[in-house]
Amino acid sequence: MIFTYSLSGSDQKDIDTFDVVEDIVVTSPGPIVVNIPEEDDPPAAVEEATITKKQKYFEELVSPDSTSILIMAKEPTYFNFDTIIILNIDKTEKKVKLINIPRDIYIDYSDEIIEAVRKVISYYPDDPGFYKINAVPSVGDHINYKNDQGRFKKDYIDFLADVIEEVFSIHVDDYVYVRVEGFRNIVDYFGGVYIDVPVRMDYEDPYQNLKIDLQKGYQRLNGHQAEGFVRFRQGYDENGNFVNYGDLFRKNNQNKFIKAFIDQHVTLKNLGKLAGVAEIVKKNLRTSVDTWDEIVDYAALAEEAVNNGYKIENVSLEFTDKFIKGASYLVLKEAEIGSGGDM
């Protein structure tokens, strides 16, 4: 099996247009080709090249016959995807599963991947956050993974989808990239979302143009408030004390929000307004679902889920905290981390 990586990458992409903003110029005779040769005599099995050192989660999370959609949102100031969620629809089990992947999950890259990255930016693999799953799109971007010839035609999305398939055995059928502005617009279009805010949320970050000011309790959130709810992980409580609730707290709130949105707005009434719904989604999201036939197919799947009362289930991952290469990571249970010599 052959992996091909181009020796040009970008420090940042304009996600809204998927254009390269700045290129890093690297002198190279051509692309990197990692080729595992086959032996003619005697015949021997060729070990398949992998992205990781055969890292694998200890159990299957979804059925191979189900449909999985990758939902992503980028941190506003960097090329890190701090929201990575798998929305899985299982017609056999009549379930909708939400798998929210924490950003600090450790990805144990193969030597070939690390070498490809070093040829573009030599110091990048030494960065403390390089091995976190939220940096996977950045890695795929830098090595120009599959030369934009993967199934989604976007190097960083194809790389993230392939990492998820290799580590979690989840095949990504389609993706949805949610822009901050688009998220607000969609929530407002549907009239907001009723949700129970678990704690006082008071936080401001002018650098990210972020201001969160929510009282504790059940209430309707508009688009701006909903953005604050799903992004909040630290801030002042009702007594004026600053509390760091952490990323898992935020993940739980994101799952709660998605469940509430599905319960309140994925209805037969709204599915009957498919053209209008598709238009608002198209304007505010970036997705691989880009033909009318695909939209109709997903609408039919959603209608079946509504009619049959599919249960929405949050799936939690099992991991342990570990300090690796100068940073705090979450190591998946019984993941095959290979040599792990640098841990």
Output the six-digit token pair for 232.
Answer: 């909040």
Token representation of residue 194: 């009723």
- Mean pLDDT to the nearest integer, 303-310: 95
Categorize the per-residue pLDDT at 80 as very low, low, confident or very high, splitting at 50, 70 and 90: confident
Model pLDDT, residue 134? 94
111-115, 117-121, 132-136, 179-183: segment of lowest average pLDDT: 179-183
Q: Which residues are 39's β-sheet partners?
A: none
Per-domain boundaries in the chain = 2-177+315-332, 180-290
Would you place residue 277 in the very low, low, confident or very high pLDDT band (cuts 50, 70, 90)? confident
CATH number of 180-290: 3.40.630.190
Whether pLDDT at 250 is above 90: yes
Answer with the residue of higher pLDDT: 47 or 70: 70
pLDDT digits (tens, 9 = 90+) for 260-274: 999 999 999 999 888
What topology does CATH give the domain 2-177+315-332?
Answer: Nucleotidyltransferase; domain 5 (3.30.420)
Kindly report which listed range (41-45, 176-180, 252-256, 325-329) carries the lowest average pLDDT score.
Answer: 41-45
CA–CA distance, 45 with 47 (Å, rounded to integer): 6
Q: Is the pLDDT of residue 33 over 70?
A: no
b vs e for 65-97, b when ≥16 Cβ sit within 10 Å of the residue's Cβ?
ebbbbbbbbbeeeebbbbbbbbbbbbeebebbb
- Residues 6+ away with beta carbon under 8 Å from 191: none
Chain segment 91-122, per-residue pLDDT in tens: 999 999 999 999 999 999 999 999 999 999 99
Spatial distance between the Cα atoms of 125 and 170, rounded to a whole number of angstroms = 26
Q: Is the pTM value of this prediction over 0.85?
A: no
Check residue 179 and give its pLDDT: 86
Confidence of residue 275 (pLDDT cuts 50, 70, 90): confident
**Residue 133 φ then ψ, to 5°:** -65, -25
pLDDT band at 15 (very low <50, low <70, confident <90, very high): very low
Of the candidates 11, 16, 18, which has an alpha carbon nearest to the alpha carbon of residue 80?
A: 11
pLDDT at 82 (0 to 100): 85
